[in-house]
Structure 1
Amino acid sequence: MPARELIAALPVALAKLVGGLLVVWLLGRIGLATATRFTRKTSTTIDDFVVKTLHKALVPMLAMGAVTWAWEGIPYEGIGDRIVTALTGLVTAVVIVQAANRILVRLLTSTLQQLAKDDDSGLQILTALKPMLRALVWVLGGVIYLQSLGVPLGALWAVLSAGGIGAGLALQKPVAEFFEYIYILLDKPFRNGDFLHVGDSGTWARVEQVGIHSTRLRSVDGELVVMTNSSLANQTLSNYTVMQRRRRIYRFGVIYDTPPSVLKRIPAMVRAIVEGVKDAEFDRCHFVEFGASSLDFELCYNIPTNNYAQALDAQQQVNVALVQMFAEQGIAFAFPTQTL
């Protein structure tokens, strides 16, 4: 190709490129402003999402169209044509993959929100899976792009297969922890903020954060306890946050010199005491056993709360009122004695 023709074609191609990009920019600005004016009048957000997605996808593709249009005006064939063609295909593939990622995540999020309006576990799972889903879409887009260029993919699949086996062996434990995280989100044995007793370790702590690999607990002493999801899920857990009520069962004894008439009145007296406490619900009180040095009564009542401090306050009121009542009635508590 003569240099004179190339030099003469360059200004025209440059003018086409600048003019095309300017038209694309103006169309993008005007189209986005016009569409946004209409979407602001609606109460839904799906139309805003559609407008933004289309704008982000169409502008780069139209810009590459302007580049291709300008390049076609240059009478030059060879590696330049292949570069422009490959670059156009690459930009198109990237734009399509990005749009597919946004649409996929948006559809999954909307679906999970509609299926479980009061449960955010599905959204937490989606948040955890987002990187994997996006990586999968990128891999598929890259494979399709390479295939469109005529690149032989046999060797690539062999490398990916070998790499996948090695990565699977190396990431066996992290993957196991990740699936334990999914199990925790699905089965919901506990959530952030729940107060737990971890049976095997004897830890009393509140859940601060459930992570992909480990769970952070704040113990009653204040230190941060970090446990892997697998070790935590394989232990016996007592979740006190979901407890609806606390049951109190304990015994007290009176001396053997207590008259039978007084023994008969004690259950009714104790019942009146428990029912007089605001946060206590009486269940039963009986003379149950002849102890070694006392006549033993068993008291059972419920406290309708999962708050440990509030339950202790109610129990303290019952105990103090019981001591006060026995002192007023002349009833003596028994204590262990030994005669020499």
Structure 2
Amino acid sequence: MSESNIATETAESLGFNQTTVLAITGIIIAGIVTRFIIMQIAPSVLKKIIRSDNIKRKTVKDSDKALGSAAGAALSYFLTLQLINSIQSGSGTYSMPEIMQNVLPNIFQFIIALSLVIWAFRLVDVVQDVVEMLDDDGVTDGADKTLISAVESILRFFIIFIGAIFIADAVGFKLTSLIAGLGISGLALALAAKDTISNFFGALTVLLDRPFKVGDWVDVGNSQGEVVEINLRTTLIRTGIDTIITIPNANLVSTPVENYGKRRWRRWQTMVHFDINSDPDKVESFRDDILQSIQENAATMNEDSSWCRVNDISATSVDVSINLYWDVQGGADERAEKEKFLLYVMQIARDHGLEFYDNRIRQQR
């Protein structure tokens, strides 16, 4: 007996005839061919529609396999339904066990749902590119990062939720029974998910009230650091020693938050000590030059409240107090402007022939 005859007899013993086996084989091959065709065609078609290279790469190139699998499984699912309808209509051409009539469509439906979930998950990364494309200034600031983080978290939640429903339906769960069961045990689930629900509403509070945004430096309870991510359940803060603190969003509703990023200005004070033998006229000229530089500096503000004054005189030094307000966006900008200003102070002091007070030098004298 040949191998083909053995295969035919095996299929017939399971309730399939040879025509049905060939039809199922053709359906599977059609799905595989469709998958490869979609993988080849989709990039070229969407290339004409989508202008952004980043969006194009994430929606097609990085997801072409999932997209092709969904399309191939969809075709196989449709053809399988046609085959089953033909069998159930009394056609003698095909034969298939009843259990396979239920299982085979579910297999293709499961592949469709899983592929679409994978593709949708990869599409979440497109949010950042869309926001950057719609942003007028082309710069992703803290508000944009907060929006991106929030939208991505919400999309992932809904993708998982909806995907779980479709996958459950594909594997044969009765959704009506599942929903009824959820209604019966809803109270227990609500109690079990109390913290999750609190964190979710905490995230909504953060997004609506905007006590801070991604990139702000904040104090939350005993934690201090830069906000790096705002999710549906937690907010991540990177500390000054480069560790990550995970704060449940529910805590943010009841905990005072000190946001350094919302400061209108950054006050800075320093003291310059000159030798007691310094010429008073030169000290006065130094004072005027420094005050003028503060008023003309584009990185300062509140010029009327800024000052440069002789603050004190001791037996060894003349102390000049400097007070100004930086108008900068972050700590890095402040440090850079402070460095330039201090170097300028050194240069002005040198130009006026002033020597900074050093107790060691006076002792040598």
- What band does the TM-score fall into relative to the shorter chain? 0.5 to 0.7
Q: Where does residue 335 of structure 2 map in the other structure?
A: 309
Distance 1:33 1:63 in 2: 20
Q: Where does residue 20 of structure 2 map in the other structure?
A: 17
Q: Where does residue 5 of structure 2 map in the other structure?
A: none
Distance 2:175 2:324 in 1: 78
User: Kindly tell me: are residues 164 and 89 of structure 1, through their superposed partners in 2, closer, same or farther at Cα, counting changes over 3 Å?
Assistant: farther
1:190 aligns with 2:190: no
The superposition leaves residues 137-188 of structure 1 with CA deviations (integer Å, 9 ceiling, x where unpaired) of: 64478679989xxx895x7655321322211111111221133335545648
1:229 pairs with 223, 240, 249, which one?
249
The superposition leaves residues 106-128 of structure 1 with CA deviations (integer Å, 9 ceiling, x where unpaired) of: 99987996577344655544543
User: Kindly tell me: are residues 197 and 162 of structure 1, through their superposed partners in 2, closer, same or farther at Cα, counting changes over 3 Å?
Assistant: same
Query: Which structure 2 residues correspond to residues 86-165 of structure 1 after superposition, within 5 A?
Result: 86-87=102-103, 90-91=106-107, 94=110, 117=133, 118=135, 119=144, 121=146, 124-129=149-154, 130-136=156-162, 138-139=164-165, 157-165=179-187
Instruction: Give aligned pairs, total.
Output: 315
1:179 aligns with 2:205: no
Q: Where does residue 233 of structure 2 map in the other structure?
A: 213
User: Kindly tell me: are residues 236 and 40 of structure 1, through their superposed partners in 2, closer, same or farther at Cα, counting changes over 3 Å?
Assistant: closer
Q: Is the 8 A contact 1:10 1:74 kept in 2?
A: no
Distance 2:339 2:288 in 1: 22
User: Kindly tell me: are residues 164 and 140 of structure 1, through their superposed partners in 2, closer, same or farther at Cα, counting changes over 3 Å?
Assistant: farther
1:19 shift after superposition: 0.8
Distance 1:317 1:135 in 2: 58
TM-score by length of 2: 0.58
Q: Is the 8 A contact 2:35 2:72 kept in 1?
A: yes
Residue identity in the other structure for 2:153 = A
1:53 aligns with 2:53: no
Point out where structure 2 has 5 or more consecutive residues left out of the alignment.
1-8, 51-55, 136-143, 359-365
Q: Secondary structure at the match of 1:197?
A: strand
1:271 aligns with 2:291: yes
Distance 2:349 2:247 in 1: 45
Distance 2:232 2:175 in 1: 37
Distance 1:168 1:100 in 2: 29
Q: Is the 8 A contact 1:14 1:70 kept in 2?
A: no
Task: Supply the RMSD in Å over aligned alpha carbons.
Answer: 5.6
User: Kindly tell me: are residues 128 and 40 of structure 1, through their superposed partners in 2, closer, same or farther at Cα, counting changes over 3 Å?
Assistant: closer
User: Kindly tell me: are residues 315 and 220 of structure 1, through their superposed partners in 2, closer, same or farther at Cα, counting changes over 3 Å?
Assistant: farther
Q: Is the 8 A contact 2:221 2:257 kept in 1?
A: yes
User: Kindly tell me: are residues 185 and 316 of structure 1, through their superposed partners in 2, closer, same or farther at Cα, counting changes over 3 Å?
Assistant: same
Distance 1:86 1:170 in 2: 36
Question: Which has the greater radius of gyration?
Answer: 1
- Mean Cα displacement is larger for which, 305-314 or 258-267? 258-267
Q: Where does residue 167 of structure 1 map in the other structure?
A: 189
- Mean Cα displacement is larger for which, 173-182 or 138-147? 138-147
User: Kindly tell me: are residues 180 and 27 of structure 1, through their superposed partners in 2, closer, same or farther at Cα, counting changes over 3 Å?
Assistant: same
